[in-house]
Amino acid sequence: MDWSLIISNTFRSGITQTAIIYILAAIGMNLHVGYTGLMNFGQVGFMAVGAYGVGISTSYYDLPLPVGILVGLGCGVVLALLLGMPTLRLRADYLGIVTIAAAEIIRLVMKYQKFKDWSGGTNGINGFADDFQAWNPMTTSAKYGFEIGPLDLRFTGGDLWEMAIGWTLVLLAVLVMWRLVNSPWGRVLKSVREDENAARAMGKSIFRFKMQSLMLGGLFGTVAGMFYAISNNSVQPDNYSRAFTFFALTVAILGGLGRVWGPVIGGVLFWMLLSGVENLLKEGVTNDHIPESIMDGVQVGQVRFMLVGLGLMSLMIFRPQGIFGDKREIAIDARK
Amino acid sequence: MSRWYLFGLVGAAVLSLAAPTSADAAMPHAPLPNGQVVSGTLQFKPETPDPSAPNARTPVEGAVVEVFGATLSIDGRKVEELGELLGSATSDAEGTFVFEMPAGAGDYAVRLVLETLPAGVGLVDATKQTLPVRLAEGQSKAILFNLAEGDAATAGVPSRGDPWYERMARLAVNGLQFGLIIGMCAIGLSLIYGTTGLVNFAHSEMITLGAVLAWMFNVTFGVPLVLAAVLAMVIGAGAGALIDRGLWRPLRKRNTGLIAMSIVSIGLGLFMQYAILYQFGDRPAKYADYSVQTKSISFGPISLSPKEIIIMVLSALILVAVALGLRYTRLGKAMRAVSDNPDLAASTGIDVDRIITLVWTLGAALVTLGAVFQGVSETVSWTMGQQLLLLVFASVTLGGLGTAFGAMAGSIIVGVAILTVTVWWPSELQTVPALFLMIVILMVRPQGLFGRRERIG
Amino acid sequence: MPESDDFVEFGKTAGGGGAGRVRDTDWPNPAAHAFDDCIEEPGSPKPDPILVATGVQRHFGGLTAVDVATMQIQRGAITALIGPNGAGKTTFFNLLSGFDRPDQGEVYFDGARITNVAPHLLAKRGMVRTFQLTKVLAKLSVLENMKLAGQLQAGESMWKALLPPLWKHQEKAIEAKALEILDEFNMVHMQHEFAGALSGGQRKLLEMARSMMTDPQVIMLDEPMAGVNPALTQSLLGHVKRMRSQGITVVFVEHDMDVVRDISDWVVVMAEGIVVAEGRASSVGANPAVIDAYLGTSHAALTGEHTA
């Protein structure tokens, strides 16, 4: 067993781009599910429109990358309006169904082979964000960083640049969230979560607040999708499937719904746990500590998903307040 | 009709099998090149077989097979529209053709150029000249063209040439079948919602589980499919009851909120889906029985295979039985009462918890049977539940969440609608009109077509 | 507005659980003579109606839940809406407060037509309601519950929320007002508790206090005394009378005839969705139509033999 590899991979997973993408998406879901009580189970749809918004506008319409980013954000707003208009006035569960379906449809439409001259079809869109690395003050391929004992913390300049931008986005998002949820606006959101009719009787336009929450949380998802697309310099339709939403939801719950730092803590922990388990199993399989009859290399990935499913269930059942949460402040447990 | 025809190619039917037997047998020749390929062997049983080797097949050399990008129906079973020609392959001396596909997942069609076949050799079923191929990432597939010599071969008439109303009629019947299957899957979801308020996102995995259980009995243990389906129903129903008793009932007792319960169901679904993948693998499979039926019965422009007729009749009968049962039996009335108003039902002496467990049991049994029908009419795969879930949701919402009758009607509407629109609409995007329909209904009649308006306060 | 010190007889214990009995002299009744010229019959006109319903109907399936030809509610008075179970009181309440839409008919508030006006807009115009099952916001503190009800808050705009200087000042004013009202309701000491931790009676109090935050003209209470212990009932009654003395119109649904007799200036009796009688609390119980409506169900309640 290569312990140095396991430890390094585990630790790195908690801070690299993947974790950042999930944290950004989970911040949005935290606003929806944790603060407003909106069952948005289609966060990946917001990610997809962001990613495709920037991808399509830069590669098929030759817009500069910053303009493409604005287009992506615009797409997020439009999606929120389209989803919210028909469903926000209805019972909470309809939003869950409609968002999950809408996200799937976005993926199918983007993947549709006949639209490939417009959205890249099954091959997706590639190589539209070269500018992003061009702005990198570091040397893209050079290695930076250091090693502490078994822990290898060296990253390429390209990765570091992406991580720097990504964490800056996370901090900005957390700052915005902290400001908002501690304002009268956030107070109304929480009241909507607790009891819509009470908030209504107090003169609050529930629809407006839900829509704003859906839009803002969706925009965090859109930013996550754009970060995903730009850092990979590629958009692949099948990356935007619903498992992504469920992972992000797990991240948000792990850190504690209705807590500003919840998604960040959740995201780091989630990826360290997941990567730790995966690397342990993989090493176990390669070194024959785990017999082939039980698990092969491919099945390690599947076991990972099974663990996420079990983890999501157990968290919601046994620690709905999240790992570090305060039981009295559970955002959604006692909801009827 | 002459009995002297045989299938041109052994092997992996329309889709390769997860069964350890078939996929290897389909490829007795040279190892496959790296990457994804579509391949097959063109051969036929001669009209007058060599008496010393009555089962020997004659390979067809030099026949050309063209590969297209294509639009397939949602189940990947029918070619709706041909896309651009990607290239062609010619069969070798052993009748084998191999075509390297573009990397990644995609929908394609493979067409046999009839003119390149030897004289007197043709397809058994003229409508099977162009076959659909749906490739998952990294997947390769074997293609079977049913060739025969002499009388058994008919000339090809491309089905796209039919007038639109004939295609529409055919699609409507297919849609009816699909709708009935969705209906079987939807009743459980709707009744569970009605009685507990839970939107069960793990319902899709109940579908997959049912189909895979039946497959396991049928293919792994060699039980005939009819019996395998019954066994699967028993186990599926048991699983439903167990999940309710072991998971949902304790959560209800703790007064867990509905959003929290939905999230638990998402976790359960994720776990089940990947547990099934772990056990079953990612290759779609066919049941051992009723996979290939060449005979069909024609009603005007519509021709149906016996299994299609049986599926439709059986599921229609079962749905009617469920509807009557809900309306007239004590148990059914109790279920509807709980669904209507659990508190009121409890106060009239109905054991609500028992009814809910029974709803889970009944729902799971119906889902299992629906899943087996779906597996028979298409394939069994670890994602089949996920593929159906959106349509089930759309149907249930359309008919009115919580009502069994609404679920049935909604399912048939959705089934017929999404197949008939493929006359004009790409079938890859079949779910789009279904969702659109659902949203329109939500806007104008949120309680669904058959639901009742809710009382506030 | 009376100083809180005048209000000591309600006790300073948990949410005013004190047992002091309220005398009418504590909170003068500005509507004492408003009904002097009113005829005691269904739909009787009032001298200064603030809320008027005409031809309001609401059907559920084949069932007619509410069918009120006319009903007027006098400004500044306490009007009770009573009737046997299933009489359509709560449904009518929902129709008046915008939480449900009538199939037919019109509702007027202060002379303006409010049929089909969204409930939050009614609240902004000065019509606030409570619910039969209290709707406190459990995961918010008592003080936050109060502050939520402040109207026209700049910080409720998503954009302004990002810039605290734009709303901090107003927030302070709202907090001061909230504390003032909490003080009137003797709940200041529990301002930091989660509302979910309160007892049933305290929740009713909080809901009432929260309603006062909106500076209402009309306050509609759906069974304010249901499930409240008798000691707290007296306290709640005192608060209702204090509201009236401040010029607020009170409409409430109630089952307990003792309560109805004690505080209401006017009583509207509903049965099977129809207004069967109206009158003063002292005389309505003797109305044959009312006895008819209640007969067999809670006749005892009307004749005062009912024990809570």
Boundary of a domain, candidates B112, B127, B160: B160
Averaged confidence pLDDT in chain B: 80
CB contact under 8 A, B457 and C60: no
Q: To the nearest whole angstrom, how far is the Cα of C74 from the nearest Cα of chain B? A: 25
- State the average pLDDT for chain A: 90
Asked if residue B266 and residue B208 are part of one domain, the reply reads: yes
pLDDT of residue B32: 38
Residue B99, in any domain of the structure: yes
Top pLDDT among B2 and A215 is at A215
**Measuring CA to CA, which residue among B371, B204, B415 is closest to residue A97?**
B204
Min distance A69 CA to chain B CA atoms (Å): 27
Taking CB atoms and an 8 Å limit, are B71 and A113 in contact across chains?
yes
Measured between CA atoms, the residue of chain C closest to residue B456 is C100
pLDDT of residue A141: 87
Q: Look at residue B440 in the predicted model and tell me its pLDDT.
A: 81
Supply the CATH number for residue B74's domain.
2.60.40.10
- Test A328 with C194 for CB contact under 8 angstroms: yes
Question: CA–CA separation, A216 vs A222, rounded Å?
Answer: 10
Q: Decide if B270 and A96 are in contact by the 8 Å CB cutoff.
A: no
For the CA atoms of A204, A208, A210, A214, the dihedral, rounded to the nearest 10 degrees, stands at -160
| Closest residue to C119, CB basis, from A186, A201, A212 | A201
- How many other C-beta atoms are found inside a 10 Å radius of the C-beta of residue C212? 24
Question: Do residue B111 and residue B33 come from a single domain?
Answer: yes
Stronger pLDDT, B342 or C35, i.e. the higher one: C35
Helices (H), chain A: 3-13, 17-29, 43-59, 65-87, 92-111, 116-119, 130-134, 157-181, 184-194, 196-201, 206-232, 242-255, 262-286, 297-318
Q: Does the beta-carbon distance from A194 to C139 stay under 8 Å?
A: yes
Q: Which domain holds residue B372?
A: 165-287+300-444
Select from B136, B160, B184 the last residue of a domain: B160
pLDDT by residue (tens digit) across B369-389?
999 999 998 889 999 998 898
- Assess whether B48 and B136 both reside in one domain: yes
Domain boundary among the residues B160, B195, B211 is at B160
pLDDT at C178: 96
Do B390 and B253 lie in one domain? The reply is: yes
- State whether B317 and B431 are in the same domain: yes
User: Which of A194, A195, A202 would best serve as a mutation to test chain C binding (most C beta carbons within 10 A)?
Assistant: A202
Q: What is the DSSP string of C140-157?
A: SBHHHHHHHT-SS-GGGS
Number of domains in chain B: 2
Residue B59 in any domain: the answer is yes
pLDDT, tens digit, 9 for 90 and up, residues B213-261: 999 999 999 999 999 999 999 999 999 999 999 999 999 998 888 888 9
What is the least distance, in Å, from the CA of A325 to any CA of chain B? 16
Q: Which two three-digit tokens encode residue A117?
A: 């001259």
Residues B177 and B152 in one domain: no
Chains that touch C (3 or more CB pairs under 8 A): A, B
pLDDT tier at B294, thresholds 50, 70, 90: low
Residue B180, in any domain of the structure: yes
Q: Tens of pLDDT along B82-117?
A: 777 788 888 887 888 888 887 777 888 888 887 778
Q: Domain spans of chain C?
A: 24-136+218-303
Q: What is the pLDDT of residue B54?
A: 62
Q: pLDDT by residue (tens digit) across C40-52?
A: 889 899 999 999 9
From B270's Cα to the closest Cα of chain A, the distance in A is 5
Whether B237 is in a domain gets the answer yes
Report, as an integer, the average pLDDT of C223-247.
Answer: 87
Class of the domain covering C24-136+218-303: alpha beta
β-sheet bridge partners, residue C220 = C129, C251
pLDDT (0 to 100) of residue C114: 94
Which among C107, A11, C113, A315 is positioned nearest to B270, based on CA atoms? A315
Instruction: Tell me, yes or no, whether B454 lies in a domain.
Output: no
C219 → chain A, closest CA residue: A201
Higher pLDDT, A119 or C1: A119
Q: Does residue A271 or residue B401 have the better pLDDT?
A: A271
Q: Are B134 and B72 in contact (CB under 8 A)?
A: yes
pLDDT at A32: 96
Q: State the pLDDT at residue C23.
A: 52
> Residue A167 CB: number of other CB atoms within 10 A?
15
**Model pTM above 0.95:** no
- Would strands B141-142 and B37-41 be described as parallel, antiparallel, or unpaired? parallel
Question: Which residue in B259, B452, B453, B456 has the most chain C C-beta atoms within 10 A of its own C-beta, making it the best mutation to test that interface?
Answer: B456
Domains assigned to chain A: 3-329 (1.10.3470)
Same-domain pairing of B134 and B178: no
Q: Name the residue with tokens 């400004």.
A: C75
Is the domain of B57 the same as that of B27? yes
Q: Is residue B29 part of a domain?
A: yes
What span, in angstroms and rounded, lies between the C-alpha atoms of C282 and C267? 9
Check residue B12 and give its pLDDT: 29
In this structure, are B253 and B315 located in the same domain?
yes
Spatial contact of B293 and B310, defined as CB atoms under 8 Å apart: no
CATH code of B197's domain: 1.10.3470
Amino acid at B115: E
pLDDT above 50: residue B364:
yes
Residue B452 lies in a domain: no
**Nearest C-alpha of chain C: how many angstroms from B344?**
14
Which residues in chain B are closer than 8 Å to C94, comparing Cβ atoms? 456-457
In a domain, B265, yes or no: yes
Regarding whether B171 and B143 lie in a shared domain, the answer is: no
Q: Same domain for B212 and B252?
A: yes
Whether B170 and B235 share a structural domain: yes
